[in-house]
Chain A
Amino acid sequence: MTVIKDAVCSFCGSLCDDITVTVENNKITKIENACILGHSKFVGMLEHDRIETPMIRKDGELVSVSYEEAIEAAAKILVNSKRTLSYGWCSTSCETVSGAIQLAEETGSVIDSTANVCHGPTALSAQEKGSPSATLGEIKNRADVILFWGCNPVHAHPRHMARYSSFSKGLFTEKGRRGRKMIVLDVRKTDTAKLADKYVEIEQGSDLLLVTALRSIINGHGDVIPETVAGVPKAEILELTETLENAKFVCIFFGMGVTQSRSKYKNGDAMSSLISDLNQHTKAVMIGMRGHYNVTGFGQVATWETGFPMAIDFARGYPYYNPGETGANDLLVREEPGAAIIAAADPGAHFPQKAVRHLARIPVIQIDPYPNPTTELADVVFPAAVVGIEAEGTAYRMDAISLRMKKLIDSKFKTDEEIIKDLTEKVRELKRGA
């Protein structure tokens, strides 16, 4: 029996690194400190069906083949495709992302991450107005006013409030929750909102209006605010502004309610300006509630290796970036890719119909531990070890702090990193032959 301490949970962007895992006979038998989501990932890994062997679609059916055969078939798809979409890469390690970027570069592909349907607009707003942020420990130790805007950590990041935000205690926040004001802004009274001191319900798609109203008041133009904004009475907005201005340290955590609703990146853009304005009165920062445990890592690695965080087109030989044109869905909706390689993500379940229809028409390579709707579209399938459980590697928390994920048990499956390396080698070999 081995007890592994300080394991990093590879589920959500909170990347809790205090998990204790007991391993007996190469099986995880006990998990301590994990939340229900993390726990079910560690446990579910054993209980759920896995993709057992590499597969190739023959006569409409996926049939088991050798690893070498699958690598050969996948490499042929990549070499023969004039325009390949490489997508996903957020529930895997940074080392894998690095390999995937090199493969995309060598094959002139477009590579994009799940941010395309998530926090992509957050990147765009940072490119407009910057990203005034802090590590999560700053919130734990200093924040006396915390806003959750368009996010629901109770369900999406269950330990967030205990470890980093509402309930956490630190040097200047000894009273924890009792010393803090917790505010939730959302379109419905979520379970997170039920825990808040103040819940502000706003009309769907009107976030930008409310942020702009807050900025106006903070900058001394409260007189121009109408009686209600975004369905919120002016008196309530004034009260909210007062709370923010009188705080010692404010953090706004924001989620997809902000990034994927009406006005998209303009919401984050305005929020960044709000944070800048608030710093004339107090200390304020903002942090995006990133979902996949390493979606932040994809952005980091892509940025240092290509200069851009997502939607990177290598067709010209150098990285070209124009989200709206080079994003995964942009390409698919235009029916542009001749093939796709998809890892650690499930566009088959999450992309719009038109995009999925195109995926169904083209050769698709999938790398994943588990079958999912994308498997139904795939022509070559590689089973992979689960990163953070069966494979080690680096991941970035939502506040851009990187941590080393451990390998907890042995696996018969290849790691994502190995698969990408072998595939790249085979592509080079075929290209040399050609």
Chain B
Amino acid sequence: MSEILIKNASVCDPVQGINCETMDICIKDGKIVESVSSNAKVIDAEGRLTMAGGFDGHTHSAGKINVGRFINPNDARKNPVPGLSGQVARTEKTRAQVGYNTPNTYAIGYRYAKLGYTTICEAAIPLLAARHTHEEFKEIPILDKMGLSLFGSNWQVMEYIRDKEPEKLAAYVAWGLRASRGYGIKIVNPGGGEAWGWGKNVSGLYDPVPNFDVTPAEILMSLAEVNERLKLPHSVHVHCNNLGKPGNYATTIETMKLFEKIKLSRDRQALHVTHVQFNAYAGTSWRNFETGAPMVADYVNGADHLTFDLGQVIFGPAVTMTADGPVEYANARMLHEKWSNQDVELEDASGVVPLFYSPKSFVNAVQWAIGLELALLVKDPWKVMFTTDSPNGGSFVNYPEAFTYLMSAKRREEVISGFSNMALDRMVLPGIDRELDFYELAIMTRSTQSKMYSRPEKGNLKAGSDADIAIYDIIPGQIDPSTEYVKVKKAFSGAAYTLKDGEIVVKDGEIEATPKGRIYWVNAKVPSPIDSAMQKDIDIKFRKYYTVSKANYMVEDVYLQKPVEIATEGVF
């Protein structure tokens, strides 16, 4: 029985409404408890900022990222954020590390932990390639992990929608989650992945998918209904149609509106819209491109059924990776960049393209501003999850840098001063003076995630929760983040302590221990007659169309490290 007492912590825990109050935290056997014995090991926080471990709810960290590594060996040597990037030799405690946007698996675990993050959610698992995702998960140390499974261009999904078979659709999704050991439903450019199978795309919510006679809107609504029927812990997680195109903010708002009518089966949002920065563009071409963030924020401020994340841009090199195949091809042609593509039979598409965000490019400058505008114009931080859609907008190791943009208007002004007048004309950021405090930052980096993913034991410091804790070298009240952003960035770049399940994994910004993390996956129960009827249909798919057998499709238990099965009971 291991006990730890963290004394004099300045606790910032929005789930409990605690805003930087000095208190003690007791830990026993990896959980937060009310009290500990006098034998407990004492950590003196000395009044420093203490939060629950960070939770990145949308990051590309296993699976597709390997294509990014493969085609960008140059990334391995990049070291723009010393201590959190570049080549690091092995030590007695740590494996060798490389990379910046696409670090090796070990570096991903160590670097998130250094930032005080303890849980990540992989943004996209193709069902057929799920085994690969879990193989990489196994080699990412320290962090707890989960992943979202792709359903948005799946043949069986589209056929059940076309044939009006909502129960079988639910049974299929439940099976797909089981097969891929996924945590929730990811929908990327609904229908667009199938269209990309023929080198085409869908143009909006009501543009039918070639050969399947369903629309993106129908795919979204049907999967949202399945999500509620199966009582999944997360909502559908949507990458909207038309990503990256000027004028796409309208599609984004239209998509959000569709979900107003969804009846919830549990206490969470009906919809999560991801990396909205890429989907909040106004204008009709790259020539008259401008921010659409005010319109999106305006809608979100009046809505209470959704959450979203930013997809904040970080200036410098990035690697885009998405199941949105047509977007990546367009990126590669526009930027004359190398292009990787991997369409997945019967299921979806994907692509990887490296790029560089330059403050001198007016488009990139406006993209940078849009992410911040979304975060600052949306009044309720509980609707917002902070992300860079790592590494699409930039690597997660830049989170501390991005926090300073959110917390300091002066810091923003510094960056903006380098922009062209044309860029300034196309954004509203210079007129925004809001600065987030530590409490709001904690909401966007931990508390929203706890609620969004229905993980009450994560992202907070309540008794009974996992003892995943970050202590940062900041004394709240003695620091002014709006001017002292250099100190803020430094503190968030290397936690004084990161505890994972009550074990000190980071001390003074260095790795202390590398325990293995858990894998969360969802097992949604479906009545067996419905399941059997569905199985007959997918048996045909395997016999006629797939190139692997059904038996070899399911991810075996051996690939799951410390699995946690989240069981739900579907309503049929």
Given the contacts A17-B549, A131-B71, A317-B96, A305 and B139 also touching, CB distance less than 8 Å: yes
Instruction: Specify which chain B residues have a CB less than 8 angstroms from the CB of A308 in the assembled complex.
Output: 69, 73, 76, 98
5 sample A-B contacts, Cβ–Cβ < 8 Å, listed by A number: A133-B343, A137-B128, A137-B545, A314-B96, A404-B552
Given the contacts A137-B545, A141-B346, A142-B198, A106 and B90 also touching, CB distance less than 8 Å: yes
Which of B73, B333, B556 interacts with A321 by CB under 8 Å? B73
- Most central of A128, A140, A318 by chain B CB within 10 Å: A318
- In the complex, whether A113 has a CB less than 8 A from a CB of chain B is no
Considering only residues 102-147 of chain A, those with a C-beta below 8 Å from chain B are 102, 105-106, 123, 126-138, 140-142
Q: Is the CB of B89 within 8 A of A317?
A: yes
- In the complex, whether B353 has a CB less than 8 A from a CB of chain A is yes
If over half of A's interface residues share one DSSP class (helix, strand or loop), that class is named, otherwise mixed; here it is: mixed
- In the complex, whether B464 has a CB less than 8 A from a CB of chain A is no
Q: Is the CB of B339 within 8 A of A404?
A: no
- In the complex, whether A91 has a CB less than 8 A from a CB of chain B is no
Chain B 71-103: CB-based contact to A (< 8 A → 1; otherwise 0): 111011000000000011110000111110011
Counting chain B residues whose Cβ lies within 8 A of the other chain, the interface size class is 35 or more
- In the complex, whether B548 has a CB less than 8 A from a CB of chain A is yes
- In the complex, whether B338 has a CB less than 8 A from a CB of chain A is yes
Instruction: Specify which chain A residues have a CB less than 8 angstroms from the CB of B346 in the assembled complex.
Output: 137, 141
Given the contacts A283-B199, A309-B70, A132 and B339 also touching, CB distance less than 8 Å: yes
- In the complex, whether B547 has a CB less than 8 A from a CB of chain A is yes
- Closest A residue to B95 by beta carbon equals A105
Bound together, the chains give a CA A127 to CA B75 distance in angstroms of: 11
Which of B89, B338, B548 interacts with A130 by CB under 8 Å? B338
Which of A106, A123, A319, A320 interacts with B70 by CB under 8 Å? A123
Considering only residues 272-294 of chain A, those with a C-beta below 8 Å from chain B are 272, 276, 279-280, 282-285
- In the complex, whether B508 has a CB less than 8 A from a CB of chain A is no
Which of A94, A138, A283, A316 interacts with B89 by CB under 8 Å? A316
- In the complex, whether B203 has a CB less than 8 A from a CB of chain A is no
Given the contacts A138-B345, A404-B556, A319 and B340 also touching, CB distance less than 8 Å: no
Considering only residues 69-111 of chain A, those with a C-beta below 8 Å from chain B are 94, 98, 102, 105-106
Considering only residues 532-561 of chain B, those with a C-beta below 8 Å from chain A are 544-549, 551-552, 556, 558
Instruction: Specify which chain A residues have a CB less than 8 angstroms from the CB of B548 in the assembled complex.
Output: 17, 401, 403
Question: Could you tell me the distance in whole angstroms from the C-beta of A19 to the nearest C-beta in chain B?
Answer: 10
Given the contacts A133-B341, A135-B547, A137-B547, A306 and B132 also touching, CB distance less than 8 Å: no
Binding site for B on A (CB under 8 A): 5-6, 8, 17-18, 94, 98, 102, 105-106, 123, 126-138, 140-142, 163-164, 169-172, 248-249, 272, 276, 279-280, 282-285, 299-301, 303-309, 314, 316-321, 394, 396, 400-404
- In the complex, whether B493 has a CB less than 8 A from a CB of chain A is no
Question: Could you tell me the distance in whole angstroms from the C-beta of B377 to the nearest C-beta in chain A?
Answer: 37
Q: Is the CB of A394 within 8 A of B344?
A: no
Q: Is the CB of B197 within 8 A of A402?
A: no
Given the contacts A130-B352, A306-B104, A394-B135, A137 and B345 also touching, CB distance less than 8 Å: yes
Which of A128, A272, A304, A401 interacts with B104 by CB under 8 Å? A304
Instruction: Specify which chain B residues have a CB less than 8 angstroms from the CB of A137 in the assembled complex.
Output: 128, 344-346, 545-547
Question: Could you tell me the distance in whole angstroms from the C-beta of A427 to the nearest C-beta in chain B?
Answer: 14
Given the contacts A136-B547, A403-B552, A404-B556, A303 and B66 also touching, CB distance less than 8 Å: yes
- Closest A residue to B131 by beta carbon equals A402
Q: Is the CB of A304 within 8 A of B76?
A: no
Which of B72, B76, B132, B329 interacts with A300 by CB under 8 Å? B132
Q: Is the CB of B71 within 8 A of A319?
A: no
Which of B89, B106, B342, B546 interacts with A305 by CB under 8 Å? B106
Bound together, the chains give a CA A310 to CA B135 distance in angstroms of: 19
Q: Is the CB of B131 within 8 A of A140?
A: no
Q: Is the CB of B343 within 8 A of A402?
A: no
Bound together, the chains give a CA A404 to CA B197 distance in angstroms of: 27
- Closest B residue to A131 by beta carbon equals B340
Which of B75, B90, B342, B345 interacts with A105 by CB under 8 Å? B90
Question: Could you tell me the distance in whole angstroms from the C-beta of A83 to the nearest C-beta in chain B?
Answer: 17
Instruction: Specify which chain A residues have a CB less than 8 angstroms from the CB of B132 in the assembled complex.
Output: 300, 396, 400-402
Question: Could you tell me the distance in whole angstroms from the C-beta of A425 to the nearest C-beta in chain B?
Answer: 16
- Closest A residue to B75 by beta carbon equals A307
Instruction: Specify which chain B residues have a CB less than 8 angstroms from the CB of A299 in the assembled complex.
Output: 70
Bound together, the chains give a CA A431 to CA B7 distance in angstroms of: 41
Question: Could you tell me the distance in whole angstroms from the C-beta of A310 to the nearest C-beta in chain B?
Answer: 10
- In the complex, whether B105 has a CB less than 8 A from a CB of chain A is yes
The 6 A-B pairs at the shortest CB distance, nearest first, are namely A137-B345, A317-B89, A283-B199, A130-B338, A307-B98, A307-B76
- Closest A residue to B103 by beta carbon equals A307
Chain B 180-203: CB-based contact to A (< 8 A → 1; otherwise 0): 000000000000000001110000
Q: Is the CB of B333 within 8 A of A317?
A: no
What 19 new A-B contacts, CB under 8 Å, besides A130-B337, A131-B71, A279-B199?
Answer: A123-B70, A127-B72, A129-B338, A129-B339, A130-B338, A130-B352, A131-B67, A132-B340, A132-B341, A133-B342, A133-B343, A138-B345, A170-B545, A171-B545, A284-B199, A307-B75, A308-B76, A317-B89, A401-B547
Bound together, the chains give a CA A317 to CA B94 distance in angstroms of: 11
Q: Is the CB of A18 within 8 A of B105?
A: no
Question: Could you tell me the distance in whole angstroms from the C-beta of A335 to the nearest C-beta in chain B?
Answer: 26
Question: Could you tell me the distance in whole angstroms from the C-beta of A168 to the nearest C-beta in chain B?
Answer: 8
- In the complex, whether B416 has a CB less than 8 A from a CB of chain A is no
- In the complex, whether B36 has a CB less than 8 A from a CB of chain A is no
Given the contacts A305-B106, A394-B131, A400-B129, A285 and B98 also touching, CB distance less than 8 Å: no
Q: Is the CB of B71 within 8 A of A127?
A: yes
Bound together, the chains give a CA A164 to CA B95 distance in angstroms of: 39
- In the complex, whether B207 has a CB less than 8 A from a CB of chain A is no
Instruction: Specify which chain B residues have a CB less than 8 angstroms from the CB of A17 in the assembled complex.
Output: 548-549, 552
Question: Could you tell me the distance in whole angstroms from the C-beta of A326 to the nearest C-beta in chain B?
Answer: 12
Q: Is the CB of B128 within 8 A of A401?
A: yes
Chain B 209-233: CB-based contact to A (< 8 A → 1; otherwise 0): 0010000000000000000000000
- In the complex, whether B475 has a CB less than 8 A from a CB of chain A is no
- In the complex, whether B457 has a CB less than 8 A from a CB of chain A is no
Instruction: Specify which chain B residues have a CB less than 8 angstroms from the CB of A171 in the assembled complex.
Output: 155, 544-545
Which of A282, A285, A303, A394 interacts with B69 by CB under 8 Å? A303
- In the complex, whether B531 has a CB less than 8 A from a CB of chain A is no
Chain B 118-130: CB-based contact to A (< 8 A → 1; otherwise 0): 0000000000110
Given the contacts A138-B345, A285-B343, A318 and B545 also touching, CB distance less than 8 Å: no
- Closest B residue to A104 by beta carbon equals B96
- Closest B residue to A132 by beta carbon equals B341
Q: Is the CB of A142 within 8 A of B197?
A: yes
Bound together, the chains give a CA A204 to CA B211 distance in angstroms of: 43
- In the complex, whether B332 has a CB less than 8 A from a CB of chain A is yes
Which of B65, B199, B333, B344 interacts with A135 by CB under 8 Å? B344
Bound together, the chains give a CA A8 to CA B345 distance in angstroms of: 19
Given the contacts A131-B340, A394-B135, A300 and B345 also touching, CB distance less than 8 Å: no
Q: Is the CB of A279 within 8 A of B73?
A: no
- Closest A residue to B69 by beta carbon equals A303
Bound together, the chains give a CA A394 to CA B75 distance in angstroms of: 27
- Most central of A102, A105, A404 by chain B CB within 10 Å: A404
Bound together, the chains give a CA A140 to CA B548 distance in angstroms of: 12
- Closest B residue to A130 by beta carbon equals B338
Bound together, the chains give a CA A321 to CA B74 distance in angstroms of: 10
Considering only residues 101-151 of chain B, those with a C-beta below 8 Å from chain A are 102-106, 128-129, 131-132, 135-136, 139
- Closest A residue to B344 by beta carbon equals A135
- Closest B residue to A174 by beta carbon equals B544
Question: Could you tell me the distance in whole angstroms from the C-beta of A283 to the nearest C-beta in chain B?
Answer: 4
Given the contacts A8-B552, A305-B104, A401 and B129 also touching, CB distance less than 8 Å: yes
Bound together, the chains give a CA A141 to CA B545 distance in angstroms of: 7
Bound together, the chains give a CA A314 to CA B97 distance in angstroms of: 11
Instruction: Specify which chain B residues have a CB less than 8 angstroms from the CB of A170 in the assembled complex.
Output: 544-545
